[in-house]
Amino acid sequence: MSGKLQHPDRDPDRRQFVAQEQAPFGAVLSCIDSRVPPELLFDTGLGDLYVMRTGGQAADPVVTGSVEYGPMTGGTPLIVVLGHQRCGAVKAAYQSMRDGKPLPGNLQAIVKALRPAYEQAVREGGADPVETMARAQVRLTATALRSNQDLAPLVRKGSLAVVGAYYSLDTGKVQVLTGAPS
Ligand SMILES: [Zn+2]
């Protein structure tokens, strides 16, 4: 937030250190938005994070499997579902569902994946329904991962936390919405 970046783990030593095997400390599911690359937001380097990015953090079985890979096979202790302010994917999906106008081609698959968040936003109301929907999408996606049959046992054991968080484009702040480890 203050701009004091350390740019860790980006030199040739680090590259060689992780060349044979990796042990990232987190897996991040975030949006494709060009302004929210997790590796840069969290000031990380080579071998630090698994990163999955889809429009509005929309998840399907392939995405979910990719998120699960680290925690299920390598003991990665943290999953972060990261939403963000002014998400274009959430906004487009909101407008599509509100107006009953499907988006063209494969974009509609994202709209479908975001329907539960849309419905929750409609129920919650609020001054800015798109922001409400973006936060709902984070919470719903984190909760679904935390309680699915493969990850729930790891969460119960205390070896995995699934956190939902929200990134402010304006301030650079990441706010934890759900699942902060106790
Ligand atoms: Zn977005």
Alpha carbon of 165 to ligand 1 centroid (Å)? 13
Spatial separation of the C-alpha atoms in residues 156 and 71, rounded to whole Å:
13
- Tally of residues, the chain: 182
Q: 164 is written with which tokens?
A: 């939902």
178: phi then psi, degrees, rounded to nearest 5: -160, 150
Alpha carbon of 14 to ligand 1 centroid (Å)? 30
Spatial separation of the C-alpha atoms in residues 160 and 149, rounded to whole Å:
13
- 166 near 138, Cβ under 8 Å? yes
Q: Which of 52, 143, 142, 130 is nearest to 93 (CA)?
A: 130
E strand or H helix that includes residue 43: none
Alpha carbon of 56 to ligand 1 centroid (Å)? 5
- Show pLDDT as tens, one digit a residue, over the chain (182 residues): 999 999 999 999 999 999 999 999 999 999 999 999 999 999 999 999 999 999 999 999 999 999 999 999 999 999 999 999 999 999 999 999 999 999 999 999 999 999 999 999 999 988 999 999 999 999 999 999 999 999 999 999 999 999 999 999 999 999 999 999 77
All structural domains of the chain, each given as residue ranges with its CATH number in brackets, are 12-86+141-178 (3.40.1050.10)
Alpha carbon of 36 to ligand 1 centroid (Å)? 8
Alpha carbon of 180 to ligand 1 centroid (Å)? 22
**E strands along the chain, which residues?**
26-30, 49-53, 78-84, 161-167, 174-178
Q: What is the pLDDT of residue 122?
A: 96
CA-to-CA dists, residue 142 to 46, 161, 174, angstroms: 25, 10, 15
